[in-house]
Amino acid sequence: MKYFKVSRQFDEGGISGTGHIIDGIIFDDGTTVIKWLTELSSIAIYKS
């Protein structure tokens, strides 16, 4: 497994904010899970 974070300096849409906005995991089979760290947090699962 690999862990990652997504950060950004600008939020052009004004929705998800700036700074550290996503935590994610990539599993050995390529499946990726992300968790948005916004006020209305959500989780998404992607098969790759």
pLDDT in tens, 1-48: 999 999 999 999 888 889 999 999 999 999 999 999 988 889 999 997
Which positions ≥6 away from 9 have C-beta within 8 Å?
18
Which positions ≥6 away from 29 have C-beta within 8 Å?
none
Q: How many residues does the chain have?
A: 48
Structural domain that includes position 27 = 2-10+19-46
Which pLDDT score, from 0 to 100, does residue 48 have?
77
What's the token pair of residue 38?
A: 């916004």
